[in-house]
Every structure is written in C-alpha cells, then in structure tokens.
C-alpha cells in the first residue's frame, strides 16, 4: 500500500515536470490541429504567418492584411512583430521554425549567407516579382537567383531645419567646404550644428560609411576594403574619413558621446541642433518628437558638389522554403506588390517604392530620394560587400574613435578585420 | 516490494535530474560540440575544425581586454558587496524602531528585474544626472557618465551594488541573528571591546554566509551581462565589454557562433576554478558549531 503510494507520487512528479516542459510546444500543436480541422471543413481555411521586422510598418501592414483577407476569405494572415527581431528570426530559422513569410534585408551579407543555405523560396522568374522595377531586383540577387521581393528603399543624408536655415540666412551646402562654413555660422549664432548619437554605434556606422562613400567615391572606398595590400594607416581614404569624423565630432552637441538615437532626434526636433545626419527612416521619429519647424534633407556634401546618396532595400519579403502553404504565401507577397497596396504603403510610410509607377509623397526627404534613380548619384552601403556581422563591429569601432579618439586602435582594427 | 523501497529516494530525484539534464547538461554538451565547429549561426552546414577556435581565442586582443574588465568588475563587486552588506546588516540588526520597514526598504531592489533596473538607471545617467551636473556647474557630471571612459566602470558597479546588495544583506542579517547571545555576553564580561567582540565572536558565525555571498557575487560579476547590455552596450568603445557580453556579441552581432561557444566554455571553466578555490579556502575558517 505504502509502496504503491510512493510510486504514484514519483510518477506524478515526473508527469508534472514533463508537462511543464512540453507546455509551449503542445500549445502550438493544438493551434495547428485547429487549423487542420478548419481546413478539413468546406471553406479550406489556411493560416499563414508573416514575421515583420520593421515596427514602423506594423500598423499599415495590419491594414493591408485586412484588405487581403477581405479579398481572400479563406486565408488568414497573422502578423508577428517582436523586439530584437533579427535575433529572434535567425534563431527560428536555425531551429527549423521559419515563419511562412518574413521581412528581411536582402542586401545584407547575413541574408545572402542564409539564402545560400536554401532557407528561402526561389522566386526567380515567378509572377510574384512581376510588378517590381527590375532595376531594384538586380542588386539583391544571390547567385543570380531572386530570393526576396524588395518593396521599399532607404536613403541616407543630412536633415536640416529649413525654417531656421532661412531665419539665419544659411544656404544648403553642396560641397564639404560649404558644410564647414555652414557649421561655423550655426555655431556663431549659438546653435548646435549637428545632432549626433555616438552611443548608438549603429548610427555612427551608417554615418561613417556614408561619409567615406562621399569623401573618396564608392569605387575607391569599396576597393580599399577588398584590397589586402591597402593598409589603413597609409591609405588616404581613411585619413580623409578620420578628418571628416573629427569635424563632425567637434561640431556636435557637447554630450554626443552619451547620446542615443532618440536623444539626437530630440535635439533636432526641438530646434537646438540644426542638422541631423540620418536615414530617411528617421522621419516618423522626428514627427513623433514634435518637430514643428519645416525640415528637409540634403545629400552629404563632397568636394565635387554632387553629393551621392547611400542606401539600400529597406522593406522586403521572403518566403520560407519549407512553408506548408507556398501558394497562399506567394499570393500575399504578390498582393504586397500590387499598385493599390504599394501606393497605400508609400502614402503612409513615405519610403520610396520599388514598384513600377509608384511615387511616395514625402516633401521632407524628396531632395535626397529623387537621387535614388539618378545615374551616379546613388550607391549601396559599403558593408553589403563585407562579411556578415562586420557592419556592427564597424559601428562600434568608429563610435569608439569618436568618443575615445584612439586613432591607432581604429586603424589596427580595420587592418585586422579586413585581412590587411 | 523491498527493492522499490530501497531505490525510492532515487525516484524522487528524477524530476530535478531530468530538468537539470534538459536545461543544463544537454545545452552544455551541445555548446561544447558547437565550439569544435565553424558554424556561423546562419548557415545550415558547419564543419568540424577541432580546437581551432580555442587557439584563436588565445590570440584575440578583445578576449584579454574583456577578461581584464570582467575580473576587475568581479573583484570590485565581491569586495564592495561583502563590506557594504555586512555593514548594512549590522546597522539593520541594531535598529529597534521601524525594524521591518527598514528591512523591507533595503530588500525592494531585489524584486525588480535586472534589465528594468538597468534601463531606469540608464535614463537617470543620461537625463537626470547631467541636469543636476549642469545645475552645480560640474563639467564631468553634466555629461553622461556611462559614456565617459573613466567613469563607465563605476557607473555599472554602482548600479549592480544598488540592486545586488539586497540579498547578501538579508543573508548576513539572518546570520547575525544566529550568533548566540550568551557568547557575546561572555566576551563582554571578559572585557572584550565591541570591535574585538565583532571580530572574534560574530565573524566566525558569518563565515558560511560569507562563503555563499562571495560565490554568488563572484558568479554575478564574472557573468555580468544584463546591466551592461541595458546601460552601456559594452561602450564607450569596448571599455565595458564583459565576457558575457562578448559571447553574446560574437554569436548574435558578428555571426561567429561556434567561436562564441568556445569562449563560453572557457568562461565556465574560469568560474568553476574560482568557485572550487573559494570553497576550499573558506571552509577552513568556519565555526564548527
């Protein structure tokens, strides 16, 4: 009698533990089973998941999903949007739990590595991409194949407070020398020339890549990183970049070292700083910070007076190679590329569209985004050609230089990581 | 029937053993196997490369830099935790009025999550403290201390102490109450000064707790991650990149997953050695009551 009890208790304890461990996955199974049951019914209901990495798009995407579901009552689309999405997505891919559709950044080396491992559905020549301007597909092919549907673009430049510029009688600078004069004039009037955020190392990474591309031209800069013989200590490109970084550092707010991205945006939106080097993705954040003055954007000046815009594909979707519902997933991605949807996205999210015939109406950024389609005025980010993960280290090291001013540490790091 | 009885107690360990195996042993063995490969965290395939990762670890400047920071941080944390926690516990033990109020107050930080505390202090350091610094006209204080290469370390240490003191204080408080009153009374009859009483009578009773506290704070110092992630992100530059954060950065920022695994294994070995040395050396000082 006693022994029996003992057995029962220990078995019960074991069951409890096992049940606790399996809690999550059994929940998932239940959900799937439900989906399957519905599928067995007359309506053939299918649920697909879209993993969205851009929080800025979330609300508009929900609207689009609603429209899609009205058109396709048998397909239900679930949007998933989590913080730190890149890590979550990569972990899900690595553990064979890929979402049906996911937003990715198709220019990045990490995406290309994953595409090489057959994580994504090959869309080459498929009807899904028919509405996309082929010019934009060219840059995101992996081994000549299309694994993603690019939908919008991003671009980098310098925001400026147009109202204050007028008030102070400042002209929009086109050459680097003019930028230096403008900064000096702003300083003289008691304002801060640049709002920067050295604490957000990614923002410094973007800034320095865009500076370098403009300082020496894309080809020279790109070649420098690919060429093992070009050492950072003696290379004129890097010397020029360092000088420009010193200039930006000297003309930023006092505590740029301690400022994070929202701090810099705030400084600009409250009119304390008159220029903000940032990508067009900052527009919603600037608006949120309560910007009242009119603001616009100019490309980073260079010596020729024809500053180039650096950018890449911003919002893009890929379909999992192992999705259980390939047709439905393709149908949704196709829906995203249709005129009506793309126009809706462009009108609200304001990023330039890759869909043929769609124009985003965004006066704040148009001086920069109009260059995206101009020959020789637009170049991709330098790090698209780097090893996966080097872009974030580049940001850390360049921000370290701006804060600690240790030139040799940066040069040594560049030599080491780029195999020089 | 008899056999069941004899082995029954093993059965009761089964749930714990199972949990331990699933959540600790399996990941650790798996992590070790990853550390022998060249997996980047992105590809589906990886190759066995033997101990290459460990050889590269030995030559990496960032590891040394990070180990240096981590040891300095852990050492500072251990010393200050022990000194301050004993001090606070002794004072709390003397308080007669509003006793539970004070004890609860000192314990409150322990119930908050580390990331929450880190984020709150991040705001204090970036907004509140500079405002105060400007008001008193101090140049150092009017900037974010966490981005100051000389001060970021102390900023982090301060926050980990603010929260990390709560539990050690509680443990010491409990230990203080286990000191037999008659021993103290006897000592004072023998003419011992308050300091002598504390040193020779009270401290031996605190040693077992001290042991635990040193191990706990050594562990939290050596594996420091949460506060650093929330407050400095390892910056300025790489000044506050602890080993824990470096493992994370290698794996999830720089896509050197197996390299990160090998560093994690090294960290495990270091903590194991520190704990063993520590337990061995301290147990000799314990009171055998």
Q: Choose the closest CB to B8 out of A6, A94, A404.
A: A6
Asked if the Cβ–Cβ distance from A3 to B4 is below 8 Å, we say: yes
Interface with chain B: mutation pick from A12, A119, A198, A258, highest number of B CBs within 10 Å: A258
Residues of chain A contacting B253 with CB distance shorter than 8 Å? 389, 392-393
Q: How far is B41 from chain A (nearest CA, A)?
A: 7
Q: Choose the closest CB to A199 out of B12, B42, B147.
A: B147
List, by residue range, all CATH 3.40.190.10 domains of chain A. 47-152+314-349, 156-311+368-417
Q: pLDDT at position B159, please?
A: 95
Asked if the Cβ–Cβ distance from A254 to B42 is below 8 Å, we say: no
Assess B27–A contact: CB distance below 8 Å, yes or no: no
| Nearest chain B alpha carbon to A119 | B44
Assess B21–A contact: CB distance below 8 Å, yes or no: no
Q: Choose the closest CB to B238 out of A118, A119, A396.
A: A396
DSSP string, A81-129: --TTHHHHHHHHHHTT---SEEEE-TTSHHHHHHHHTT-B---TT-GGG
Q: pLDDT at position A27, please?
A: 38
Residues of chain B contacting A396 with CB distance shorter than 8 Å? 234-235, 237-238
Q: Choose the closest CB to A392 out of B43, B125, B253.
A: B253
Closest among B93, B264, B95, B259 to B178, alpha carbons compared:
B93
Q: pLDDT at position A15, please?
A: 62
Q: How far is CA A72 from its chain centroid?
A: 30
Assess B136–A contact: CB distance below 8 Å, yes or no: no
Assess B42–A contact: CB distance below 8 Å, yes or no: yes
Using the 8-state DSSP alphabet, how is residue B202 labeled? I
Residues of chain B contacting A18 with CB distance shorter than 8 Å? 18
Residues of chain A contacting B146 with CB distance shorter than 8 Å? 199, 258
Q: Choose the closest CB to B40 out of A113, A255, A404.
A: A113
Task: Give me the interface pTM, i.e. the ipTM.
Answer: 0.81
The pLDDT tens digits for B189-224 are 998 888 898 888 898 889 889 988 988 898 889 989
Question: % helix / strand / coil in chain A, to the nearest 5?
Answer: 55, 15, 30
Rounded-to-integer distance, Cα A254 and Cα A402, Å: 13
Q: Which CATH number fits domain B24-283: 1.10.3720.10, 1.20.200.10, 3.40.50.620, 3.20.20.10?
A: 1.10.3720.10
Strand partners, A316: A104, A150
Beta strand A101-104 with A46-51: parallel, antiparallel or unpaired? parallel
Spans of chain B below 70 pLDDT? 1-4, 283-289
Q: How many contacts, defined by CB atoms under 8 Å, are there between A and B?
A: 120
DSSP string, B120-162: HHHHIIIIIHHHHHHHTT-TTTTS-GGGSTTTHHHHHHHHHHH
Rounded-to-integer distance, Cα A16 and Cα A19, Å: 5
Domain ranges in chain B?
24-283
Assess A411–B contact: CB distance below 8 Å, yes or no: no
Q: Choose the closest CB to A199 out of B235, B253, B256.
A: B235
Query: What's the CATH superfamily of A47-152+314-349?
Result: Periplasmic binding protein-like II (3.40.190.10)
Answer left, alpha or beta for residue A269, where phi above 0 means left and psi between -120 and 50 means alpha.
alpha
Assess A389–B contact: CB distance below 8 Å, yes or no: yes
Q: How far is A94 from chain B (nearest CA, A)?
A: 7
Rounded-to-integer distance, Cα A110 and Cα A318, Å: 14
Q: pLDDT at position A8, please?
A: 65
| Nearest chain A alpha carbon to B126 | A258
CATH number of A156-311+368-417: 3.40.190.10
Q: Along the 420 residues of chain A, how does pLDDT read in single tens digits?
A: 456 666 666 666 556 555 554 444 433 344 444 444 444 445 678 999 999 999 888 999 999 999 999 999 999 999 999 988 999 999 999 889 999 999 999 999 999 999 999 999 999 989 999 999 988 898 899 999 999 999 999 999 999 999 999 999 999 999 999 999 999 999 999 999 999 999 999 999 999 999 999 999 999 999 999 999 999 998 999 999 999 999 999 999 999 999 999 999 999 999 999 999 999 999 988 998 999 999 999 999 998 889 999 999 999 999 999 999 999 999 999 999 999 999 999 988 888 999 988 888 888 999 999 898 888 899 999 999 999 889 999 999 999 999 999 999 999 999 998 988
Residues near B46 by beta carbon (within 8 Å), at least 6 away in sequence: B34, B37, B38, B39, B40, B258
Q: Choose the closest CB to B42 out of A114, A255, A259.
A: A114
Assess A6–B contact: CB distance below 8 Å, yes or no: yes
Strands (DSSP E) along A163-214, which ranges?
A: 192-194
Q: pLDDT at position A16, please?
A: 58
Asked if the Cβ–Cβ distance from B235 to A16 is below 8 Å, we say: no
Q: Under DSSP, is residue B190 helix (H, G, I), strand (E, B) or coil?
A: coil
Contact indicator for A6, B4 with CB cutoff of 8 Å = yes
Assess B234–A contact: CB distance below 8 Å, yes or no: yes
Q: Under DSSP, is residue A52 helix (H, G, I), strand (E, B) or coil?
A: coil
Assess A201–B contact: CB distance below 8 Å, yes or no: yes
Closest among A176, A253, A216, A225 to A382, alpha carbons compared:
A225
Assess B219–A contact: CB distance below 8 Å, yes or no: no
Assess B146–A contact: CB distance below 8 Å, yes or no: yes
Contact indicator for A110, A102 with CB cutoff of 8 Å = no
């Amino acid at each position: 009698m006693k022994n029996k009890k003992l057995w029962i208790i220990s078995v019960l304890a074991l069951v409890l533990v096992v049940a606790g461990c399996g809690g999550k996955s059994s929940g998932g199974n239940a959900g799937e089973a439900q989906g399957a049951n519905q599928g067995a019914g007359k309506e053939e209901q299918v649920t697909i998941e879209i993993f969205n990495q851009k929080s800025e798009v979330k609300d508009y995407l929900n609207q689009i999903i609603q429209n899609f579901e009205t058109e396709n009552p048998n397909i239900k689309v679930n949007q998933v949007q989590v913080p730190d999405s890149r890590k979550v997505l990569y972990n899900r891919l690595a553990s064979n739990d890929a979402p049906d559709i996911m937003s990715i950044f198709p220019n990045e080396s990490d995406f290309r590595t994953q595409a090489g491992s057959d994580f994504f559905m090959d869309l080459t020549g498929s009807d899904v991409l028919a509405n996309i301007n082929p010019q934009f597909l060219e840059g995101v092919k992996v081994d000549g194949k299309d694994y993603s549907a690019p939908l919008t673009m991003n671009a980098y430049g310098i925001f400026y407070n147009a109202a204050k510029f007028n008030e102070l009688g400042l002209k929009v600078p086109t050459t680097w020398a003019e930028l230096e004069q403008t900064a000096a004039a702003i300083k003289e009037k008691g304002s801060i020339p640049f709002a920067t955020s050295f604490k957000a190392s990614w923002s410094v990474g973007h800034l320095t890549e865009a500076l370098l591309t403009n300082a020496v031209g894309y080809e020279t800069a790109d070649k420098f990183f690919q060429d093992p013989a070009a050492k950072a200590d003696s290379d004129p490109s890097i010397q020029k970049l360092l000088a420009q970084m010193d200039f930006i550092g000297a003309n930023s707010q006092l505590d740029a070292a301690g400022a994070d991205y929202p701090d810099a945006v705030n400084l600009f939106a409250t009119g304390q700083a008159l220029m903000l080097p940032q990508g067009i993705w900052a527009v919603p954040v600037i608006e949120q910070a309560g910007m009242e003055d009119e603001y616009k954007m100019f490309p980073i000046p260079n010596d020729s007076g024809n500053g180039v815009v650096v950018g890449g594909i911003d919002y893009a979707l890929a379909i999992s190679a192992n999705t259980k519902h390939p047709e439905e997933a393709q149908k949704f991605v196709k829906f995203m590329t249709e005129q009506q949807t793309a126009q809706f996205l462009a009108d609200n999210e304001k990023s330039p569209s890759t869909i043929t015939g769609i124009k985003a109406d965004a006066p704040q950024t148009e001086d920069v985004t109009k260059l995206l389609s101009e020959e020789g005025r637009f170049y991709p980010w330098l790090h698209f050609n780097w090893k996966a993960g080097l872009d974030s280290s580049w940001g850390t090291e360049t921000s370290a230089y701006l804060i600690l001013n240790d030139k040799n540490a940066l040069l040594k790091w560049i030599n080491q990581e780029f195999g020089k | 029937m008899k056999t069941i009885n004899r082995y029954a107690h093993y059965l009761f360990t089964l749930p714990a053993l199972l949990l331990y195996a699933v959540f600790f042993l399996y990941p650790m063995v798996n992590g070790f196997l990853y550390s022998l490969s060249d997996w980047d965290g992105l590809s589906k395939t990886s190759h066995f490369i033997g101990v290459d990762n460990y050889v590269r670890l030995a030559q990496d400047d960032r590891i040394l830099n990070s180990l240096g920071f981590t040891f300095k941080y852990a050492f500072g944390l251990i010393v200050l935790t022990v000194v301050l926690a004993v001090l606070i516990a002794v004072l709390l033990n003397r308080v007669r009025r509003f006793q539970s109020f004070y004890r609860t107050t000192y314990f409150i930080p322990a119930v908050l999550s580390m990331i929450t505390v880190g984020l709150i202090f991040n705001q204090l350091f970036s907004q509140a403290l500079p405002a105060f610094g400007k008001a008193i006209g101090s140049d150092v204080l009017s900037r974010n201390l966490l981005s100051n290469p000389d001060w970021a370390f102390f900023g982090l240490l301060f926050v980990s102490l603010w929260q990390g003191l709560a539990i050690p204080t509680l443990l010491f408080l409990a230990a203080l109450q286990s000191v037999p009153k008659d021993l103290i009374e006897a000592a004072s009859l023998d003419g011992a000064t308050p300091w002598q009483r504390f040193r020779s009578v009270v401290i031996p009773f605190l040693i077992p707790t001290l042991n635990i506290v040193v191990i706990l704070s050594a562990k939290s110092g050596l594996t420091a991650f949460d506060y650093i992630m929330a407050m400095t992100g390892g910056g300025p530059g790489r000044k506050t990149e602890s080993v824990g954060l470096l493992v994370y950065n290698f794996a999830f920022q720089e896509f050197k997953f197996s390299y990160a695994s090998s560093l994690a294994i090294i960290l495990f070995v270091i903590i194991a050695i520190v704990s063993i040395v520590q337990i061995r050396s301290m147990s000799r000082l314990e009171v055998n009551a």
